[in-house]
Chains A and B, each alone.
Chain A
Amino acid sequence: MTGSHPGEVLPLPPRSVSAPGAGRALPVRAALSGLIAAGLAAAVWRLSGEPGGARLALSLVFGALFGFVLQRSRFCFYCQWREFLIGGDPRGMLGILAALAAGVAGYAVVLGAWMPDPSGTRLPPDAHIGPVGPVLILAGLAFGAGMAVSGSCISAHLYRLGEGSPTAPFALLGTGLGFVLGFLSWNPLYLASVSEAPVLWLPRHLGYGLSLALSLALLAALAWPLLRRLPAPQPRASHDPLHAVFVARWPVWLGGLAVGALGTLAYLRVGPLGVTAEIGGRSRQAAGALGLLPDRLEGLDTFRGCATALRDAILTPNGLFIGGLVLAALAAALLAGQFRPALPTRGQVVRGLAGGVLLGWGAMTGLGCSVGTLLSGIMAGAVSGWVFGLAMFAGAAGTLWAGRRAGVLG
């Protein structure tokens, strides 16, 4: 299929991959994809049979679905933002707004059942509702800058790892280092600011109905100017449904709706979507073992978000989620002919590491990333999600503008 439609693999210009052609023949790639899918299914089967393994098995399933959706729709916060700023194409950003709208509605349904009365002092269980203050803005700006420098956010680096991206491994390594820097700077930041920052949850003040209406109205207000810039509709490339699902890029709004649904379902059964708990937790473990961490990270483990609490288990829900994400993205990329590994250039190594450090620092001090804090936060009605999101997009735009002026960013 791919061989006959080389130009249709990506309706929009390819972003992370530049090599044309799909490499190996379709049957080989399909067989490899099938093998990975079967391996994932076997792992899920095995985990679900173990006592207490249902949660782990589900995490792996959700991770795999998330990876598949991200890869198929190229659901990448930075690419969509850049596409809009430079290419003037608003469709990707509309896709992100679609994800938020679907998730906001889905979360309202779940939260209304779990906490019929949101007005008390309690927060819904493990929803990503964080403190709102200057540190959150700083975290968002740093994270946004990291996206611009490294080429995407953490979740997109994860699915691109499955596509064989030469930058992603260095960006993720940098993220780990950034987390350690975040831990090192946490105590002063906490004492100076975070400890006094309010944790704001919209339904507590507005009730579920008004909170949902306000969130949807905000999303609609953001979507309005974007809708006016839609490009002229393109003729459909192919009518083959298999091609549409497994080879052609999904429209981002479709990926967005899937992300919103996945976010809701994951929250209902396992926990909010997030991709940094495992990276952060392991970084904390490694840095602790090397004696790099302060003895105590003040107040950190009492906050919601992508918890980095030390773990002793080898298999954790978030670790399996990440593993499933990367492997499913690999399977999807193989099938679509988008698995294009390449040797990294020096520029990719440097940008990956430097951007990764900013991503890691931002995700640590912001208690999550574009998925954990922004997506899962806004869906849950957390003001922290909105604030982090605005700062993140501003940081990315500013860095992109400055980088292009300086001639170091494309």
Chain B
Amino acid sequence: MLRKSALLLAIAAGLLAPTGLSAAPDPASKQLKDGATKPGATQESPLVSTEWLEKNLDAKNLRIVEVSVEPGVFERGHIPGAQNVAWHTDLVETVSRDIAGPEKFTALARRLGLDRDTTVVLYGDNNNWFAAWGAWVLAQYGLVDNVKLLDGGRKKWEAEKRPLDTRTAEVAPSSFTAQAPSPKLRARFADVLAVAKKERDEQILDIRSPDEFSGKVIAPAGIQELAIRAGHIPGSVNIPWAKAVNPDGTLKSKEELKALYAAAGIDGSKPIITSCRIGERSSHSWFVLSRILGYDARNYDGSWTEYGNAVGVPVVNLAGTVWGGK
């Protein structure tokens, strides 16, 4: 509640500043409505609230994009005006393991009407996991500050019984052209290995479940993509992604998040690498560290399915499960 009002206040303050009025809490909601056509008002925050989004659905320079993993979720009802991005095919290369290349990304961004001057609100199912992956891919192609996550994602929008639509949105395509993706937000195997071997002074945040981290299990039940070894990368700390989230799906406050990571020794003083199993849950924590706390963070999308399969690398296995026959 407090956070929501704080956000509203911040938005209102941003709107009122140029007019010279003081941002008194009382007229805040009215002012918000008046300024509802300026999505740029939220430029400071990487999050938008469901309330803000509903009021700004018709804003001109706003693009709403759903990135959900379950098929049919978008089609059977999405936030009015939202467009669909299929995580499995649109944001990745489908033959080689990589994020979508510049050509593919250009086509996607143009179809969705994304550009550097449009505000992009991403949301999705599964606590915004795949939407956060989307934000991470967009960021590598230079779409950073204008890209927001809908706080609480699809779950909160539905829980608040806000309207859904099944019609296809029609947006004007953009003329965005992607350059080669920036390597600054992505950690590679060699980077992680250097940290594991203590050749580089960086921190690895492993956001998998404690059982995966300890090596008790290689992956959660029912998962097909496994690794040959169990455990974690030496020197990494374990804070499951869900600890950053409130029960209603919204992210915790900046102060709470700061304290959460600081307790594990992550305070932004050193570069951070986020890692999980395939790099998609960890992009959620990457978003928190990089966009909300402003830390220097990279996401390691190779994650345990790359590292745990690599030959000749150091591994920590707390659970004592060792490789062997029956």
Contact = CB atoms under 8 A, between A and B. Distances in A.
Whether chains A and B associate is yes
Interface of A: 51-52, 113-114, 116, 121-122, 124-126, 268-271, 301, 310, 312
Interface string B164-178: 001110000000000
A134 B71 CA distance: 28
Contact of B71 (A51, A113, A126): A126
B72 A271 contact: yes
B166 A113 contact: yes
B294 interface: no
B75 A114 contact: yes
B159 A125 contact: no
Contacts of B168: 113-114, 116
B159 A269 contact: no
Nearest to A311: B222
A124 B76 CA distance: 12
B57 interface: no
A271 B75 CA distance: 11
A125 B72 contact: yes
Kindly state the interface size class of chain B when it binds its partner: 10 to 19
A297 to B, nearest CB: 11
Contacts of B159: 51
3 A-B pairs with the lowest CB-CB distances in the bound complex, closest first: A125-B72, A125-B71, A114-B75
B89 A122 contact: yes
Contacts of B71: 125-126
Given A116-B168, A122-B86, A268-B76, 18 more contacts: A51-B159, A52-B158, A113-B166, A114-B75, A114-B166, A114-B168, A122-B89, A124-B75, A125-B71, A125-B74, A125-B75, A126-B71, A126-B72, A268-B166, A269-B76, A271-B72, A310-B222, A312-B222
A278 to B, nearest CB: 17
Contacts of B75: 114, 124-125
A125 B166 CA distance: 13
Contacts of A310: 222
A374 B86 CA distance: 28
22 contacts: A51-B159, A113-B166, A113-B168, A114-B75, A114-B166, A114-B168, A116-B168, A121-B89, A122-B89, A124-B75, A125-B72, A125-B74, A125-B75, A126-B71, A126-B72, A269-B76, A270-B76, A271-B72, A301-B224, A310-B222, A312-B221, A312-B222
Chain B interface main SS type: loop
A121 B90 CA distance: 12
Contacts of A113: 166-168
Contacts of B74: 125
Nearest to A269: B76
Q: Which of B71, B159, B221 has the most CB of A within 10 A?
A: B71
Contacts of A270: 76
A312 B221 CA distance: 10
Contacts of A125: 71-72, 74-75
Nearest to B94: A121
B220 to A, nearest CB: 11
Contacts of B72: 125-126, 271
A122 B90 CA distance: 11
A125 B66 CA distance: 15
A61 B86 CA distance: 30
Nearest to A302: B224
Nearest to A270: B76
Interface in B46-87: 71-72, 74-76, 86
Contacts of B158: 52
Contacts of B224: 301
A168 B221 CA distance: 35
Contacts of B86: 122
A184 B195 CA distance: 46
A223 to B, nearest CB: 31
A56 to B, nearest CB: 14
A126 B159 CA distance: 24
A271 B73 CA distance: 10
- Chain B CB within 10 Å — which of A126, A269, A271, A310 has the most? A126
A305 to B, nearest CB: 13
Nearest to A115: B75
A113 B166 CA distance: 8
A116 B166 CA distance: 12
Contacts of A51: 159
Contacts of B89: 121-122
A124 B158 CA distance: 23
A52 B126 CA distance: 12
A388 B105 CA distance: 39
Contacts of A121: 89
Nearest to B159: A51
Nearest to B75: A114
A268 B72 CA distance: 9
A171 to B, nearest CB: 30
A264 to B, nearest CB: 13
Nearest to B170: A116
Interface in B233-292: none
Interface string B143-163: 000000000000000110000
A116 B89 CA distance: 18
Contacts of B221: 312
Contacts of A269: 76
Contacts of B222: 310, 312
B124 to A, nearest CB: 14
Contacts of B166: 113-114, 268
A52 B75 CA distance: 17
A371 B209 CA distance: 40
